[in-house]
Amino acid sequence: MPETKAQEVENLEGDAALARPYARAVFELAKSQGQFQDWSDKLALMAAVVSNPSMQAVLDNPRLTRADAGELVIRACGEDIGDNAVNLLRILAENSRLSQLPMIAALYAELRDEAEGTIEAEVISALPLSEEQKTAIASALKTRLGRDVQLNCSVNEDLVGGAVIRAGDLVIDGSALEHLRQLSSALVH
């Protein structure tokens, strides 16, 4: 049976609660060593490895010990990830938290962005944006959020027109599709 939206949110909040202490510990380590980008790269690699469907199938095998799961992920990430990353993977494996790596990476990115005074914003538009439009959106978001903004733009023609912008907790849905939904709802009620 598919999850409801409320169940999805609850699961994400639960995942975030489990991942947050690890993300904060990695952030503090990266901060003390001045290695924000290095850790961003390592966490992205580790998250990609454990998110791979083939790797997930192996990690879900009940006969695989926690220690063996950790060593498997370490080998898949390569030997040049460093001692601290290896230790993190072993701790996560020991606590059955390897599956939390994507959430740890996302929370770490938020902590890093906050420390660096930046925020990543996702802009999904019906049509490709011009450089002028991107600059205007980034400038408006910077004014509203008080931080430098890095835009990640993509196109989704299903929006019909307009755009959807997500930056942290802020969601601005200015798509024609959303306006049509609101109109439809107003007509029904």
CATH 3.30.365.10 fits 5-112, yes or no: no
The one-letter code for the residue type at 65 is T
Local confidence band at 2 (pLDDT 50, 70, 90 cut-offs): low
Q: Write the CB contacts of 48 (distance below 8 Å, at least 6 apart in sequence).
A: none
Query: In terms of Cα–Cα distance, which of 72, 68, 42, 78 is closest to 54?
Result: 72
Q: Nearest-5° angle of CA 156, CA 149, CA 129?
A: 35
pLDDT tens digits along 55-103:
999 999 999 999 999 999 999 999 789 999 999 999 999 999 999 999 9
Q: Is the pLDDT of residue 6 over 80?
A: no
Residues forming CATH 1.10.520.20 domain(s) in the chain = 5-112
pTM of this prediction?
0.68
Backbone angles phi, psi at 174, to 5 degrees: -105, 30
Backbone angles phi, psi at 164, to 5 degrees: -120, 130
Q: Write the CB contacts of 93 (distance below 8 Å, at least 6 apart in sequence).
A: 66, 67, 69, 70, 71, 73
Q: What is the mean pLDDT of residues 117-146?
A: 90
Alpha helices in the chain (DSSP H): 5-33, 36-51, 53-59, 66-77, 83-94, 101-116, 131-145, 176-188
- Alpha-carbon radius of gyration of the chain: 20
Q: What CA–CA distance (Å, rounded) separates 87 from 71?
A: 10
Instruction: Give me the pLDDT at residue 9, please.
Output: 43
Instruction: Give me the pLDDT at residue 3, please.
Output: 53
Q: Is the pLDDT of residue 5 over 50?
A: no
- 118-188: which CATH topology? Glutaredoxin (3.40.30)
Instruction: Give me the pLDDT at residue 56, please.
Output: 94
Residues forming CATH 3.40.30 domain(s) in the chain = 118-188
